[in-house]
Each structure stands twice: as structure tokens, then as C-alpha cells.
Amino acid sequence: MSALIDENEENAVLAKLASMSITSATHVHAPAFTVEDQTAHISHLPGAMTKNLFLKDKKHGMYLVTAAFDQEVNMKVLASLLSLPGANFRFCDEETLQTYLGVAKGSVSPFAMMNNTNKDVKFCIDQALLNQEIINVHPLRNDRTTAIHPKDLVTFLESLGHTVTTVDFAKAAAEPASTARVGGDKGSQATKAPIEKKVKEAGDKRETGLDLTVRKDEDFSKWYTEVIIKAEMIDYSDISGCYILRPNSFFVWEQIQRWFDVEITKMGVKNSYFPLFVSKSALETEKDHVEGFAPEVAWVTKSGSSDLAEPIAIRPTSETIMYPFFAKWIRSHRDLPLKLNQWANVVRWEFKDATPFLRSREFLWQEGHTAHASYDEAQECVRAALELYRRVYEELLAVPVIPGRKTEKEKFAGADMTTTVEAYINGSGRAIQGATSHNLGQNFGNMFKIKYENESGGHSIPWQTSWGLTTRTIGVAIMVHGDDKGLVMPPRVAPVQAIICPISSKDLSKEELQAYGNSIRNQLLAAGVRVEMDNRDNYTPGWKYNHWEQRGVPIRIEIGPRDFANKTARLVRRDNGEKIDMSGDAVAGAVPALLEVIQAALFEKAKKGRDEKIVKVYNWADFVPALNNQCLVMTPWCNNTEWEDKVKVMSRDAALAPGDKEEATCATSVAAKTLCMPFDQPELPEGTMCFVSGLPATTWVLWGRSY
């Protein structure tokens, strides 16, 4: 999910601080939609974390209350501290927040008082914060945190004409329950657990990252963001749209890479590496190709303080880098076929909202490039590469895909034709392009003057292909399989396939239990299972179970005092929660087979969910309602680019409410687009008409809302 950003607001805040000679430091991090998010991102920095409550009372008006992040704020206690007996505080809605403080939900901070020029919002601050050396608050955008001395914050607010009221929650908490009842319900006579205990529990929860704040079917984007951060799949760099692949996710990419390398070697493909940079003249050689990438190309224009004689592009793809060398290396029909692959990074400076794994400015991929003596041989390579992509998704990631051909409008810039595998994301109802394989024809051969002496002694231009698979694969698997607990990792790519969780007891020594666990672990390692044992004794078994569930480990192995005594173990499946009790000696033999069962179950579940969302539509009137039902829509189609453009506009206009305006930079669109003309075509009876144009249909095409 994207950040709540207002750069003008941030600049205004920082400029005001600078004009007052107030020292502050602003840190960049991932979007933080809760205090827990913010704490997870910057807990390593000094200073107290804050939370901000925008409240209203019918009689007494609106209040912005800033308190320590772990301070429980009871509304009745707040009313008492402000000497407002009978006040009934409620949270303000987003419209009121925008009207009075000029910020979006998730970006509120004391700095928002800068926008309250009518002085009709009162500001209160927790005394505990005023006792700190540094406090951390958002500079009106939720992917930044500004550290400031609390006294300087008070000075800032007072310079704007606001009165700062101090409230001492700690003092109220120390009073007897009969007068303060912090956190208690009205009329309760029971003294609640000490705040210190609640703070400790909250701290434990934040430390283990067990709390997803939304369900997958409630806010898919936020769910995805929380899962990939809390499962330690990614972290955010200080360059917008660029991400760090942490070991948990990079392992998945390594598994794909190892498998794929073996398979392309069988095709006669050899690995190589070409430079990151491409000259301006080379990039612009193929007109259609460069036009397709021009808006996304990043250029290097300086070396130190000196301007380069000619700008150098950072590769958005490598056709124009590699093919000048193809022209050098391919001289005779004996030099064909030439089949190369490289594992590399590419940069596409997109201005759409970035989404980790799915859409980023830098990403990792493999790109295959081949040259052949005939079109048929090139086409055979195109389909062989696409088949490998299908297998990566279905056999490694347990994600079903639909292979097909792209329309002329959607094909790769400069190619004769493009094939694709398309996946469906349950929960968001959107399709996503999984990987593509292109027949480039002789277009690039002509442009780069790649000629060879054929067997007849004349000269020919080779037929070329290119094909690529990216780290988008990781995001697709996360989205398809994840649930409300976090990741559900397909066993074949899971960094940890089984986790052993010893359950200690005062009647059983830790050493004895660990020895039993290690014996099971060693047997599993010998069986080729990626297994770890969680020996941490500062967490309860329940916390550890949740911790590993969130990371998607396929099998949890529980061993407690009873298991130790009976030499048994309990296996728990992550995908469905099934519990299996067995002898400890049988675990090593059972786990590999069970991992394959889980792998197959994940694929079947995803396929069933996808197939239920593929519908056939013969009339335009049924098209947008099907999209709104989160379906992929198969229609008879005239294969006409003009009508393809019309459907995109018509579907967008039909989906938007009157007066709404869709931003061109949105990462996701309500407009439909063609995904592919599936290779597996349903029967198309003669005389069938296109669902929208009324022209004769020539093919079936799959439509959807897409990432």
C-alpha cells in the first residue's frame, strides 16, 4: 500500500522549523499506518514514539492529544484531567480530520496544528513526553519520522498561536481505581492489571511482529504491505520505489534461479553477463522498442562534477546492449543457434505507485536472448521458455497460470508477437502478468545489421527471441497463498520447511528436551528437509507458533514433556491447521511426503479459487458487473485494437462513480485490459459475434483488471 504523502506539507513543516533555528532530524522509512508499524521501522533510533488522537465532544469541541505510544488513554480520565466533567470524547472521522487539520488518516501529528489557522482545535500533550530528550512524530506524511526536542515542539506550536495543555496520564494511572480506573469500563469496581504489564505485553507483541491489523478480504493492499514487512521479506530503501530483498525472500529467488538454470541448460542456453549501461545511440536504434521504454529510462549524465559527453542509459532491458555483439559474433550459419541468458538487475523509472515485488524501479530478473536460422525454430524456443515459466509458477510456487498470446496492443515493443502466463490474485480480484516470451522476428536483426552467410552462400538475417522472469514471482506467491495469519509458503521454495518448537516444563530439563529435538532435527536434515529448531526461552509456545505461522513455515513440529516421555511428536500443517501425532522416529520419513501433499494442496486450492472466478460473457451489459464481482472475463473477440481501446475507456467510465477522476499514476486501475488470447481456446461456433463491437469474433480473449 502506498504512503500517505503530501510533500508540500512536509516541506512547509521543515521550512518553518529551519526558519526558527529549531534542530530536527527526519528519517525515511516504509509507510506506517499504525504506531506499531512506525515502531517496527525506526525502533533502532533514539527518542520516544508518539501516538496522536483527534477527538471531539459536542459541547467542548475538538482536541488533538499527543501521548506516549504505549500510554493507554481512557476518555473519561482525559475529561477529568482537562477539567471537563461529563465530556463524551469520540474519534473524529476522516472528513473532519481533513477539514480541520488538513492531513490524511495515518499522517496525523502535532505538526498538523500548523493547518488549524482558525484555532478551533485544542492541543494536549502527555507530560511523559515533555520529560523526554527526543520525541518522534510524522512530518505530515507517514513514510517519514521527524525527531525533535519536546520543548522545541512546544515553542513551534506556540509560535503559531496555539496554547499547549499538558496532561499527566501517569499521575492519573497512579490514583486508586475508584477515582481513575484507567482502561476500566463504566461502573467497574475491579482494579485492572497494571499498565506496566500491558506495556510489556504490547512490547512483546511488537517485537515478534504477530499483529496483522487488517484481514486479507478487508484491505488487501494494507494486508500485503503488513505481511511482507512483518514476515521480514522486504525493507524499504531511502530511494522511492526501490526495496531490499531480505534473506526470507531472496531465498525464494535463489530456488527459482537454481531450478531454471538446470532447465535452460537442457535447452542449450548458456549464461553470460552484459554491462548495466547502454549508449544513447544504441538504445535509440530500434524506434518502436525505445518508444515503449522511453518514459521509464533512467539516464546517467554526470561523472563526479563533470558532464558526460553523451548521456548513458541504465538498462530497462538488454536487447540494445546485447545485439551489437550478436552482429559481431554471428557470421555463419554454423554460429547458429546462439542461445544466451543472463541474471541481472534492470531499472525502469516508473511513476506509477510502487508495490514491492510487483512494481518497483529496480528489480531482478533473468533474460534469455536467442538467434535462429528459421522462424519455426525461434518459435519453438519461445514456447519452450514459456513452458518453463508455467512450470516455475505451478510446480515451484503452486500458482496456477494461463498461457496465451498477447494482443497486438499489449505485445512487447519491437516484437513480432508476445506470449505470456497470467495469474489471478484471490482477495484483490486482479490478474497479474507472470512472465513473457517474445518472438522478435527479424526486427532487431535488421536494425543492428545482424547478418550471416547461409548454407547457400548468400546472406540471411536471424530470427530472434527474448524472454524474461522477474522477482515479481515472489509477490504473486505471497498474494495468492497468504492468509490472515501471514505468509503461507509453498514447501518447494520455503526457506524453512519445518520448525521444531520444544515446549519446556519445570518437570523436564531444557537440555533433555533440546537433545530430543536435536535428534529429530538431525534426522530431518539427513532426509533433505530445511529444518530449524526454536530454542528461544523468552517466548511462550503460543508466541513462537504465531511467529512461525506468520512466516509461512509449512510444518510445525511440537515436542513437549509428554512427547519426550512417549518419544512422539505433533506435526501441524500451516496450510490447513491439521494436527498429526506420530512416533518421533517416524517424523523424518513422514515430513518429506507431507511437504509434497501440502504443495499439491496449495496449488489445487489456488486453482479452484481462480477457476471459480473465470466467467464467459457474450454481451457488453454483463461485462463490467463480472469485473465488479472480481472475475476474469472470457469473451468472443474481434481482435481489433480500436475496440480494445474503447473497452478500456468504457469499462473505466462504467466503474467510476459520477464526478470521480481516475489518476493516470495509479498502480491499479478499474479499467479492463486484455490479458491474453489463451492457447487453450474454447470452441467458437461460426457466426459468433464480438461481445462489444458486434463484428465477427475470431478468437476468445481473457480480460481482467490487472496490476
> Residue 208's pLDDT is what?
45
Q: Which amino acid, 460?
A: S
> Residue 538's pLDDT is what?
84
Q: Is the pLDDT score of 305 beyond 50?
A: yes
> Residue 658's pLDDT is what?
53
CA pair distance 287, 308, nearest whole angstrom:
24
In the predicted model, what is the mean pLDDT of residues 297-315? 93
- CB-based burial label for 36 (10 Å; 0-12, 13-18, 19+): buried
Q: Is the pLDDT score of 121 beyond 50?
A: yes
Q: For residue 287, which of 413, 197, 406 has the smallest C-alpha distance?
A: 413
Q: DSSP letters along 257-287, please?
A: HHHHHHHHHHTT-EE----SEEEHHHHTSSH
CA pair distance 570, 587, nearest whole angstrom:
9
Q: What is the mean pLDDT of the chain?
A: 88
For the record, the C-alpha cell of 74 comes out as: 481512557
> Residue 132's pLDDT is what?
87
Write out pLDDT tens, residues 402-435: 999 999 999 998 899 999 999 999 989 999 999 9
CA pair distance 147, 46, nearest whole angstrom:
9
- Give the pairing type, strands 463-470 and 430-441: antiparallel
CATH no. of 7-208: 3.90.960.10
Q: Which amino acid, 623?
A: F
Q: DSSP letters along 9-21, please?
A: HHHHHHHHHHHTT
Q: Which helix (H) or strand (E) holds 431?
A: strand 430-441
> Residue 455's pLDDT is what?
94
Residue 617 and residue 629 in contact, taking contact as beta carbons nearer than 8 Å = no
Confidence category of residue 474, pLDDT binned at 50, 70, 90? very high
CA 520, 524, 525: angle at the middle one, nearest 5? 115
Q: Which amino acid, 264?
A: I
The upper half-sphere exposure of residue 527, i.e. CA atoms within 13 Å in the direction of its Cβ, equals: 21
CA pair distance 384, 366, nearest whole angstrom:
15
Q: Which amino acid, 296?
A: E
Q: Where in the chain is the domain with CATH 3.40.50.800?
A: 491-607
CA pair distance 671, 704, nearest whole angstrom:
8
> Residue 193's pLDDT is what?
36
In the predicted model, what is the mean pLDDT of residues 363-386? 98
Instruction: Read off φ and ψ for residue 309, nearest 5 degrees.
Output: -60, -35
- CB-based burial label for 592 (10 Å; 0-12, 13-18, 19+): middle
- Among residues of the chain, what percentage have pLDDT more than 90? 67
CA pair distance 387, 406, nearest whole angstrom:
16
Measure CA of the first residue to CA of the last residue in the chain; give whole Å.
13
Q: Where in the chain is the domain with CATH 3.90.960.10?
A: 7-208
Write out pLDDT tens, residues 541-589: 999 999 999 999 999 999 999 999 999 999 999 999 999 999 999 999 9
DSSP structure class, residue 577:
-
Write out pLDDT tens, residues 9-51: 677 888 888 888 888 888 888 787 776 666 666 666 778 888 8
Q: Is the pLDDT score of 663 beyond 90?
A: no
CATH of 614-704, one of 3.30.9.90, 3.40.50.880, 3.30.110.30, 2.60.40.420: 3.30.110.30
Q: Is the pLDDT score of 196 beyond 60?
A: no
> Residue 203's pLDDT is what?
40
Q: For residue 429, which of 599, 645, 612 has the smallest C-alpha distance?
A: 612
Q: DSSP letters along 60-112, please?
A: TEEEEEEEETT----HHHHHHHTT-TT---EEPPHHHHHHHH---TT---GGG
Residue 704 and residue 675 in contact, taking contact as beta carbons nearer than 8 Å = yes
In the predicted model, what is the mean pLDDT of residues 52-64? 91
Q: Is the pLDDT score of 205 beyond 70?
A: no
In the predicted model, what is the mean pLDDT of residues 122-139? 90
Q: Which helix (H) or strand (E) holds 419?
A: strand 417-425
Overall fold of domain 244-276+316-480: BirA Bifunctional Protein; domain 2 (3.30.930)
Global pTM value: 0.73
Other C-beta atoms within 10 Å of 629: how many? 11
Whether a cis peptide bond, with omega within 30° of 0, leads into 490 is no
Superfamily of the domain at 491-607:
Anticodon-binding domain (3.40.50.800)
> Residue 597's pLDDT is what?
98
Q: Where in the chain is the domain with CATH 3.30.930.10?
A: 244-276+316-480
